[in-house]
Amino acid sequence: MTERFTASFTQQEPLPEAAVEAALRVLRHGRLHRYNTAEGEVAETARLEEEFAAFTGARYCLAVASGGYALGCALRALGIGPGDRVLTNAFTLAPVPGAIAALGAVPVFVEATEGLTIDMDDLAARAPGAKALLLSHMRGHICDMDRLMALCRALGLPVIEDCAHTMGAGWRGTPSGRHGVMGCYSTQTYKHMNSGEGGLIVSDDDALMARAILLSGSYMLYPRHRAAPPPEAFAAVKYLTPNVSGRMDNLRAAILRPQLADLPRQIARWNALYRIVEAGLAGTPGLALVERPEGEDFVASSFQFLLPGWPAGPVRAFLARAAARGVELKWFGAAEPQGFTSRHDSWRYAPPQPLPRTDRILAGLIDLRLPLTFSEDDAALLGRILREEVACVFQSGEELDEAPAAD
C-alpha cells in the first residue's frame, strides 16, 4: 500500500501552559502597553529584553512589533536612507529587500552558493559604493562568519544580521546575530518562538541601540528600558530621531518569555527531525542534500534539498506527486510568487540584476517545514515518500529530456 502523509505542515504546537498563564495575568490587569506599568512594576517587555540579551550574550536588546520592523529599524539606526545601496542575499524572503526599499534605499543582490549562503566573491565584487550588508541567514543556513566579517571589515561594510531563521543558532560558538553591529529576529508564528508577530533587535553599540529605541516609539520614556544603553547615549540623539512606532506589547512579551526559557529543548527536537529526514534522503539519485558546515550550530525548523539540473517540467511533476501523497513543498524556482515564497525577479521595486548562479540553484531548490507537531515517525515517513517520488520522476529519463528548460 502506498504511504500517505496526513500531518499538517502549518499547525503549530499549543503555547506552553506557562505562556497561557502569563498572558492571562496581563489580560487581567489590562496594562498591555509596554510603558503602562503600575508603581514598582517592571513591564513584561522590559523583562523579555533583559532575558533575550542574556540568551544571546548581547549588551542590549529591543523588542518590536515584527521581524520586518526590526530590519527597518536597524537600517534606520545605521543611517541608511534614500539612494543608499545596501547589499543583501539574492536568496531570501521578501521582507528583507522590502525593508531596504521601504527606506528609499536600493537593494543590491548578491549571488547564492550551493550551501544556500551568500557568495563572498560576488559580495566583494558588488561592495564598492555600498553602505551596508543586510545579511540574511536564509532558511537557517549560516555562512563562514569568520571569513565574512573579515571581508566586511576590510571593505568598511557594516553588517546587520537577519536572524529570522537562526534564533538559537550560531557559528563556532558565537550566537547568530552577534557578529554584526545589530542582529534582528522574528517571533512570527512560523519562527522559533511564536507570538503571532513580533521582533527583537540586539546590539552592543550604545549609539545604534539608543537610536533604535527612540525610533521604536519610546518618546522620552527610554529610562524604563533595562537592556539599554545609559542615559547619556540618548542625549545627543533624542531630539533628532523620528518616532516610527513599532513597539512590542506586554501580552506578546509575556507569551514569549516561557518559550525563550524552553528554546534549547525545542532546538534539540527540531534538529532530531531534520536529521531523520536527512538520513532518509541520503544517497537518493537525482537529489542533492545541502551540506551543513562544521562550524555551524543550526536550528532546523525547515528542510531544504536540491534537484540539480532538473528542468521545470519534472520539478512540477515531482511537486504534484508529493502533494498527492500529502507532502506540501515549496519551490523557490517557480516563476510566480506563491504564498510566502518568491524570488529576486519578483521584487520589482529593486533594480533587475543578472544572477545566473542564484537562478540555477533556485531552479532546483525545494523546501519543507518541520513543525514540532511532527513526530519522529512523521519525519521518517517524509523521507520515504520524498525518496520514492524523486526516484519515480528522475528515473523517467524521457520526461527529464522532454521537459521545458525553464518557466
Residues 233 and 287 in one domain: no
* CATH for 296: 3.90.1150.10
Q: Which residue has the cell 537577519?
A: 162
Instruction: Answer yes or no: is 127 within a domain.
Output: yes
Report which of 173, 102, 122, 114 is spatially closest to residue 141, judged by C-alpha positions: 114
Residues 147 and 25 in one domain: yes
Q: Which residue has the cell 543556513?
A: 141
Residues 69 and 127 in one domain: yes
Q: Is 86 left (phi over 0), alpha (psi -120 to 50) or beta?
A: beta
Instruction: Answer yes or no: is 201 within a domain.
Output: yes
The DSSP bridge pattern shows strands 130-136 and 159-162 to be: parallel
Residues 26 and 87 in one domain: yes
Q: Which pLDDT score is estimated for 1? A: 65
Residues 185 and 117 in one domain: yes
Instruction: Answer yes or no: is 6 within a domain.
Output: no
Say whether 294 sits in a helix, a strand or coil.
coil
Residues 252 and 293 in one domain: no
Residues 97 and 201 in one domain: yes
Q: Which pLDDT score is estimated for 28? A: 98
Q: How many angstroms separate the CA atoms of 324 and 59, rounded?
A: 50
Residues 219 and 277 in one domain: no
Q: Which pLDDT score is estimated for 348? A: 95
Instruction: Answer yes or no: is 331 within a domain.
Output: yes
Residues 174 and 223 in one domain: yes
Q: Which pLDDT score is estimated for 407? A: 44
Q: How many angstroms separate the CA atoms of 131 and 75, rounded?
A: 10
Instruction: Answer yes or no: is 79 within a domain.
Output: yes
Select from 258, 292, 326 the last residue of a domain: 258
Residues 218 and 298 in one domain: no
Q: How many angstroms separate the CA atoms of 118 and 107, rounded?
A: 15
Instruction: Answer yes or no: is 4 within a domain.
Output: no
287 within 8 A of 382, measured Cβ to Cβ: no
Q: Which pLDDT score is estimated for 397? A: 61
Which residues, 6+ apart, have CB-to-CB distance to 38 below 8 Å? 29, 31
Instruction: Answer yes or no: is 122 within a domain.
Output: yes
Report which of 329, 300, 365 is spatially closest to residue 142, judged by C-alpha positions: 300
* CATH for 119: 3.40.640.10
Residues 61 and 146 in one domain: yes
Instruction: Answer yes or no: is 379 within a domain.
Output: yes
226 within 8 A of 213, measured Cβ to Cβ: no
Pull the grid cell for residue 7: 500531518
Buried b (16+ CB within 10 A) or exposed e, 143-178: bbbeebbebbeeeebbbbbbbbbbbbbbbeebbbbb
Select from 223, 258, 293 the last residue of a domain: 258
Which residues, 6+ apart, have CB-to-CB distance to 354 below 8 Å? none
For residue 350, what are the domain limits?
Answer: 263-402
Q: For every one of its 407 residues, what pLDDT tens digit does the chain have, with 9 covering 90 and above?
A: 699 999 999 999 999 999 999 999 999 999 999 999 999 999 999 999 999 999 999 999 999 999 999 999 999 999 999 999 999 999 999 999 999 999 999 999 999 999 999 999 999 999 999 999 999 999 999 999 999 999 999 999 999 999 999 999 999 999 999 999 999 999 999 999 999 999 999 999 999 999 999 999 999 999 999 999 999 999 989 999 999 999 999 999 999 999 999 999 999 999 999 999 999 999 999 999 999 999 999 999 999 999 999 999 999 999 999 999 999 999 999 988 888 899 999 999 999 999 999 999 999 999 999 999 999 999 999 999 999 999 999 987 645 544 444 44
Query: Per the structure, how many domains does the chain have?
Result: 2
Q: Which pLDDT score is estimated for 400? A: 56
Q: Which pLDDT score is estimated for 405? A: 41
Report which of 118, 123, 156, 154 is spatially closest to residue 136, judged by C-alpha positions: 118
Q: Which pLDDT score is estimated for 395? A: 86
Residues 127 and 272 in one domain: no
Select from 258, 292, 327 the last residue of a domain: 258
Q: Which pLDDT score is estimated for 396? A: 79
Task: Count Cβ atoms below 10 Å from residue 353 Cβ, excluding itself.
Answer: 15
